[in-house]
């Protein structure tokens, strides 16, 4: 009997072929079996060796391994009514397949992967949060959708400028119930123009005030500067009336005025000059220097392990050439368009939690927050509404202790795939 364990590891697995198969049928229309298999191989950029690999199965005949697996994937798609079976030898998308199988059905939450430290759920954020115990999360770090100028099919305008604040408050109210008494909620929010205008949407300021009225304290703000952020907005490059928007802000909220945090966990290396000063026994201070007046003596003579960071962080976005990007490209999966960099995610987890604490991200995206939590020994919960993003994001955990995934069972379960 043909099993996954008996297949050569160089041949893509069943779970990595379904979405590329649906994509090529969407792009090319009805195809014959061999043409469909070749199109999938082209999409995944498979080598000639993988395409031509043959093996003897139960009937003793030499069979092309890749084409055989694609045919089995097609059978799965037939069961789920994603592909039609109306014309013999012709593979054609059904109405359900045309909808791209992207979004979770409202109210349905499925665990698609887990490690020894956490779980990855497919579902809407509000539905997925119901799986989390109240008062259990030490840090909720997330980047929700920004106010969308154009309504998208999947959100019915809920994240548009007119409804964004109410939508976000509904989610933040649910998040508040999940936090510990001294827990933190950190929201990554970016700048957005008002529709048809070079003026900025004030949703950040409005949200801060609304959250204060909800019982959240604003504990801090960290500005993230991305020097590689493109300046292609027409107000910047054409009319020249605005500057490039190169920053985003991590807003730090808590139901407590004294949330759990320690800057000792995020100290930065001393400069070479500072290290030389410490080695020399400190710097003499006469007590009369500007605003730093005080008792004469020595300063900068104690090594405290590093310097306290400012509320500013500089780093680029995660590019497409890293392990995550290469994994998605090889399997025909879309890259998440707004990938959180590792550095700020790592910073906030170290700053506000200890090993063993729980970190949550209900808008998981490419699963960067969960990956950093795993690497730092924190328990985690993450979810996302879009299955393709989860399939790509879980590549960050393939080497994690206890990793297992359940994508295949989703496709075989009637009613789970979004209608």
pLDDT by position in tens, the chain (length 419): 344 344 444 687 776 787 778 777 866 678 888 888 888 887 777 788 888 888 887 777 888 888 888 888 888 778 767 788 777 788 887 755 544 446 677 788 889 999 999 999 999 999 999 999 999 999 999 999 888 654 444 455 788 778 899 999 999 999 999 999 999 999 999 998 888 899 999 999 999 999 999 999 999 999 999 998 877 678 888 899 999 989 999 999 999 999 999 999 999 998 888 888 888 887 776 655 555 555 556 667 778 888 999 999 999 989 888 999 999 988 878 788 789 999 999 999 999 999 999 999 999 999 999 999 999 999 999 999 888 899 999 999 999 999 999 887 664 444 444 33
Q: Do residue 94 and residue 115 come from a single domain?
A: no
Determine the Cα–Cα distance for residues 309 and 279; give it in Å rounded to an integer.
Answer: 22
HEC states along 184-250?
A: EEEEEEECCECCCCCCECCHHHHHHHHHHHHCCEEEEEEEEECCCCCCCCHHHHCCCCCCCCCEEEE
User: For the domain that residue 259 is a member of, what is the CATH number?
Assistant: 3.40.50.150
Question: Residue 239: which domain range?
Answer: 110-267+308-411
Is 87 inside any structural domain?
yes
Tell me the CA distances in angstroms from 281 to 13, 185, 285, 300, 302, one per residue in order: 62, 41, 12, 8, 8
pTM score of the predicted model: 0.73
Tell me the CA distances in angstroms from 353 to 140, 204, 348, 411, one per residue in order: 10, 25, 8, 37
Task: Report the number of distinct structural domains present in the chain.
Answer: 2
Is 275 inside any structural domain?
no
Last residue of a domain, one of 98, 131, 164: 98
Determine the Cα–Cα distance for residues 84 and 99; give it in Å rounded to an integer.
Answer: 14
Q: Do residue 166 and residue 239 come from a single domain?
A: yes
Is 343 inside any structural domain?
yes
Determine the Cα–Cα distance for residues 91 and 70; give it in Å rounded to an integer.
Answer: 11
The answer to whether 358 touches 369, Cβ cutoff 8 Å, is no
Task: Write the DSSP symbol of residue 257.
Answer: S
Is 201 inside any structural domain?
yes
Determine the Cα–Cα distance for residues 35 and 389; give it in Å rounded to an integer.
Answer: 27
Q: Do residue 392 and residue 333 come from a single domain?
A: yes
Q: Do residue 312 and residue 186 come from a single domain?
A: yes
Q: Do residue 140 and residue 88 come from a single domain?
A: no
Q: Do residue 61 and residue 204 come from a single domain?
A: no
pLDDT of residue 180: 98
Q: What are phi and psi of 85, to 5 degrees?
A: -125, 45
Q: Do residue 341 and residue 376 come from a single domain?
A: yes
Provide the token pair at 187.
Answer: 């929201």
Using N-to-C axis directions, what is the helix angle for 368-375 and 342-352, rounded to 10°? 50
Is 103 inside any structural domain?
no
Sorted by sequence, the CB contacts under 8 Å of residue 275 that are 6+ apart come out as: none
Q: Do residue 246 and residue 315 come from a single domain?
A: yes
Last residue of a domain, one of 98, 118, 133: 98
Last residue of a domain, one of 98, 133, 168: 98
R_g of the chain computed on alpha carbons: 26
Is 27 inside any structural domain?
yes
* Residue 217: strand pairing partners: 254
Q: Do residue 25 and residue 79 come from a single domain?
A: yes
The answer to whether 342 touches 372, Cβ cutoff 8 Å, is yes
Residue from 333, 382, 325, 331 nearest 100 by CA: 333
């Amino acid at each position: 009997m043909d099993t996954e364990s008996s297949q050569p590891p160089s041949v893509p697995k069943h779970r990595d072929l379904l979405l590329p198969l649906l994509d090529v049928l969407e792009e090319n229309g009805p195809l014959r079996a061999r043409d469909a298999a070749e199109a999938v191989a082209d999409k995944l950029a498979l080598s000639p060796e993988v395409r031509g690999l043959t093996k003897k199965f139960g009937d003793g005949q030499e069979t092309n391994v890749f084409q055989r697996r694609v045919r089995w994937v097609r059978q799965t798609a037939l069961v789920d009514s994603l592909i039609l079976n109306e014309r013999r030898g012709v593979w054609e998308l059904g109405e359900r397949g045309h909808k791209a199988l992207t979004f979770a059905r409202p109210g349905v939450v499925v665990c698609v992967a887990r490690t020894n430290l956490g779980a990855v759920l497919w579902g809407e954020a509000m539905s997925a949060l119901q799986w989390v115990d109240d008062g259990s999360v030490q840090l909720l770090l997330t980047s929700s959708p920004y106010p969308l100028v154009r309504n998208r099919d999947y959100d019915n305008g809920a994240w548009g400028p007119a409804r964004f604040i109410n939508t976000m408050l509904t989610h933040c109210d649910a998040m508040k119930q999940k936090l510990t008494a001294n827990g933190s909620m950190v929201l990554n929010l970016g700048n957005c123009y008002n529709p048809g205008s070079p003026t900025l949407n004030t949703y950040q300021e409005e949200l801060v005030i609304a959250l204060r009225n909800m019982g959240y304290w604003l504990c801090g703000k960290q500005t993230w500067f991305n020097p590689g952020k493109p300046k292609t907005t027409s107000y910047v490059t054409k009319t020249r009336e605005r500057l490039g928007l190169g920053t985003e802000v991590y807003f730090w909220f808590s139901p407590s005025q004294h949330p759990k945090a320690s800057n000792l966990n995020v100290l930065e290396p001393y400069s070479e000059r500072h290290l030389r000063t410490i080695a020399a026994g400190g710097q003499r201070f006469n007590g009369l220097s500007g605003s730093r007046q005080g008792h004469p003596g020595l300063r900068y003579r104690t090594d405290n392990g590093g310097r306290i960071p400012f509320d500013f962080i500089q780093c680029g976005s995660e590019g497409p050439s890293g392990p995550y990007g290469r994994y998605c490209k090889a399997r025909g999966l879309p890259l998440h368009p707004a990938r959180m960099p590792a550095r700020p995610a790592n910073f906030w987890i170290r700053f506000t939690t200890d090993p063993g604490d729980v970190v949550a991200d209900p808008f998981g995206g490419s699963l960067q927050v969960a990956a950093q939590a795993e690497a730092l020994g924190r328990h985690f919960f993450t979810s996302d509404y879009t299955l393709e993003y989860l399939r790509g994001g879980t590549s960050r955990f393939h080497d994690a202790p206890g990793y297992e995934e359940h994508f295949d069972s989703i496709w075989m379960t009637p009613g789970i795939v979004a209608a």
